[in-house]
Chains A and B, each alone.
Chain A
Amino acid sequence: MQSKVKKQNAAKRAENKTARWLAAPGLILIGIFTIIPISLALTLGFTNAQLLAPTNPDFTGLNNFKTLLGVSAVTLHAAKQPDGTCAVDENGEIAYEPLRPLTRDNSPRKDLRGKSEVKRIFANAEKCSVLVVVAGDPVFWRSLTNTFFFALIVVPVQAGLALILALLVNQRLRGRNFFRTVYFIPTLSSMVVISMLWRFMYQQDGLFNKSISNFMPGYAPIDWLGNPKTAMPAIVVLSIWQAVGYHMIIWLGGLQTIPAELYEAVRMDGANKWDEFKHVTIPGLRHTFVFILITITIAALGLFVQINVLTQGGPLDSTSTLVFQSFTRGYQRQEIGYGSAISFVFFILVLVIALIQRSMTKRLDT
């Protein structure tokens, strides 16, 4: 009896040893090409490393993160005139004291040095004062909100549209393979190529403007990518158009795993099309839903190629995103330490969002 256990243990140990040997090549490759580079990149965020500098970088602790995330506020005053109103400048606006002396590198307020104005709030006519919010890197905050705006629109719209397309091409129609291919083609093309093509269509004399002005004679052409109000929506449309085919295929895969007997059964129970969809299709797609939600979210938060090709983050930072900022600072401006700090923050954000989504969808998945 005892010897049998011993034998078993020995066999198990030998098996474990073999398993370790078999796993080793994969683990080593992941270590060299994924784990080491990622940890190096994250470490760089705590240094002042410059891309071309001949000198070794210094550890600067949390400096990069303080600049990146630092936000303060300062109250500015305007002179109060004898009649009780605040002094105004030549444009008729209240003449507050200038902010610049407080944000310069020799400012008496150390916490404001190098910061830039984001917004003026709480103007007080009584005291002739206004509260100015300043940030160490206003473009980062702008990029953060842009990225979330993009994700908030793209995730539901793209997932929903992909589902509608999948339902359409899942029917027994003639030529459905043709439609499946057509919807899938944009996914196969490179995003760079698609962006270049859409740039021409978005131009002031491009396809969209020409088509609209054909129907509406008085229409003034919009420079879709050159206007801060329309640039991000234009990128949203193009991005959804490119990626919707991919998620259509995944939905389609999900649809085809739903057993036909279930549909037959509900039909025998007298269900209509809507009931069929609500009680068979949707529950049958819950695994696919979780997968699609997480992949679209991560892809949307990583928005970069379209921005780099089409707008370079402009006009007026209206299309700047986190990954684009990390690229601009780390590579184009050679401030690789700072760029890595942005990546670090981005990494944490995506991780947190993915974990929240995972815990929220866990119920669905079981």
Chain B
Amino acid sequence: MKSKWRISLTAAVVAVGLLAPITVSAANAAPVEIPLWTHNGGNKAELADVNLVVKDFNASQSKYKVTVKAFPQINYNDAIVASAAANRLPCIMDTDAPVVPSWVYAGYLSPLTVDKKITNKLQTSVKGSYGGKLYSAGFYDAAIALLARKSTIADAGLRTPTVAKPWTLAEFNDALAKAKASGKFDYALSLGTGWDGEWYPYGFSPLLQSFGGDLIDRKGLKTAEGVLNGTAGVAWGKWFQNIFTSGLAPKKETADQRDNGFITGKIAYQWNGSWAAASAAEKLGDDFIALPPPNLGTKAYIGGGSWQWAVSSSCANKAGANAWLQFALQTKYLTKFADDLFNLPITPDATKASKIFGPGSKYSEFATFSATFALIRPATPAYPVIAKIYETATKDIINGADVQKTLDGAVDQINKNLKDNYYYVKKK
């Protein structure tokens, strides 16, 4: 008797489930589906926030229905490139900031039509522009800082650097030498060499830029000659190489050194992103301090640009996709993305509202670093190639290769790629 009842109940549920969408769609015109892809399949907190924005948007109007598909980050770019080749891109997708020009060039993206009043408020580093048009906008940014202990600085008798007056090259070198000489640490500095890929240009090209070099001549974006391998570039390479050859930093960090070396006190300073600050602060308490990037010659720099949202060129409902993005750029969501995920808020309003990064709050300096020092990676379709060449060259320099020869070789490869691609100007 009981089992029979259960069967009929199941049947009823199934029947209702089958009928429900039909009856709804019969009642009022079905909302247009807008597929959205995101890279944060492995990041529960971020995915939850994306889902929240989507849920709110779908409830706020009846014209569009955004559907979310999450991918693991490591396969995400491959999935996009493969589906672009098969002409099956979703409407809305997130993109890693420096890749945007390359995807625009490949014809994957269409310009955003979000209200300019809204996008004008966004910090430059989260806007993906190419050829004078805006193609992507981010909900947050990240900032690199030199993570340290107040006690390390005090014990060494060093000046605490400020945003207005960061450490100079001599002061930074002195700090590292003293940390090593103190004998308290395995290494003076962790540079994140335990990561591969995009960390190299993101983390290390700001140091190169601080010396006065760059990945490519930003005027015209047609050559790297004299910029990457010029006097400033070579000075950066020799300085950077010396950090490793003199044993100040590990050439290839183990995962443990990278993730725990600084917070367990085995490494004195760490060049790391805002994402690592929360766990460091929790462990070190009041002794923790995030120092501004050093000024190694011309100016202090950190990388700008994190994940951003874009609309595909094959999207059938670009208006709906832009409507979602416009909806998502509300201050309350931007604040939530910042505070939930320990990312930096990127509008003045969101910064003010942020409990973590707002003025006078615990990590407000990160927002200042991002606003003061951020420099986006060169906006050229060649960027993914340049990034790979730079990564290889930097690894060679770390491992003791001749700096001038290595950078000359990198320049030749970059310039050859630019030339082979007709300088990325679309031919008719």
Contacts and interface: CB of A to CB of B under 8 A. Distances in A.
Partners in one complex: yes
A198 B57 CA distance: 48
Contacts of A332: 388
B196 A333 contact: no
B409 interface: yes
A334 B399 contact: no
B2 interface: no
Given A114-B412, A333-B385, A54 B252 contact: no
A293 B420 CA distance: 41
A67 B102 CA distance: 25
Contacts of B421: 50, 53
B399 A228 contact: yes
Given A52-B105, A204-B254, A335-B420, A103 B388 contact: no
A203 B194 CA distance: 12
Given A332-B388, A333-B384, 17 more contacts: A51-B81, A114-B412, A116-B408, A138-B409, A225-B252, A226-B251, A226-B399, A314-B399, A315-B251, A315-B396, A315-B399, A316-B396, A328-B388, A333-B388, A333-B389, A333-B417, A335-B385
A114 B413 CA distance: 8
Contacts of B417: 333, 335
B141 to A, nearest CB: 25
A334 B388 CA distance: 10
8 interchain residue pairs of minimum CB distance: A315-B399, A52-B106, A54-B107, A116-B409, A226-B252, A316-B399, A333-B385, A114-B412
7 contacts: A53-B421, A100-B408, A103-B408, A138-B409, A223-B251, A314-B395, A334-B384
B81 A116 contact: no
B379 interface: no
Interface of B: 81, 102-103, 105-107, 196, 225, 251-252, 254, 381, 384-385, 388-389, 392, 395-396, 399-401, 405, 408-409, 412, 415-417, 419-421, 426-427
A117 interface: yes
Nearest to A137: B413
A275 interface: no
Contacts of B107: 54
Q: How large is the interface on A (under 10, 10 to 19, 20 to 34, 35 or more residues)?
A: 20 to 34
Interface in A213-232: 223, 225-226, 228
Nearest to B422: A55
Contact of B401 (A48, A52, A114, A316): A316
A205 interface: yes
Given A52-B105, A52-B106, A316-B400, A114 B416 contact: yes
A187 interface: no
B225 A50 contact: no
Contact of A117 (B106, B381, B405, B427): B405
Contact of B415 (A53, A55, A105): A105
A312 interface: yes
Given A104-B225, A314-B395, A316-B396, A54 B105 contact: yes
A52 B95 CA distance: 15
Contacts of B400: 316
A277 B220 CA distance: 73
B412 A116 contact: yes
B426 A54 contact: yes
Nearest to B419: A105
B399 A103 contact: no
Query: Is chain B's interface secondary structure helix, strand, loop, or mixed overall?
Result: helix
B107, B388, B392, most chain A CB atoms within 10 A: B392
A51 B80 CA distance: 13
A38 B213 CA distance: 43
A48 B381 CA distance: 16
Nearest to B386: A333
Contacts of B105: 52-54
A48 B420 contact: yes
Contacts of A315: 251, 395-396, 399
A232 B382 CA distance: 32
A332 B183 CA distance: 42
B254 A205 contact: yes
Given A52-B102, A55-B426, A316-B401, A103 B412 contact: yes
A138 B427 CA distance: 32
Nearest to B254: A203
Nearest to A314: B395
B81 to A, nearest CB: 7
Nearest to B391: A312
Nearest to A318: B399
A117 B408 CA distance: 10
B256 to A, nearest CB: 8
Contacts of B419: 105
Contacts of B405: 116-117
Nearest to B381: A52
Contacts of A53: 105-106, 421
A52 B388 contact: no
A203 B252 CA distance: 10
A328 B385 CA distance: 10
Contacts of B196: 312
A53 B420 CA distance: 11
B103, B412, B426, most chain A CB atoms within 10 A: B412
Nearest to A49: B420
Contacts of B427: 55
Contacts of B385: 333-335
Nearest to B427: A55
A317 B392 CA distance: 9
Nearest to B402: A117
A189 B194 CA distance: 26
A305 to B, nearest CB: 16
Nearest to B81: A52
A52, A55, A228, A317, most chain B CB atoms within 10 A: A52
A54 B385 CA distance: 16
Nearest to B108: A52
Contacts of A54: 105-107, 426
A53 B421 CA distance: 8
B388 A314 contact: no
B255 to A, nearest CB: 9
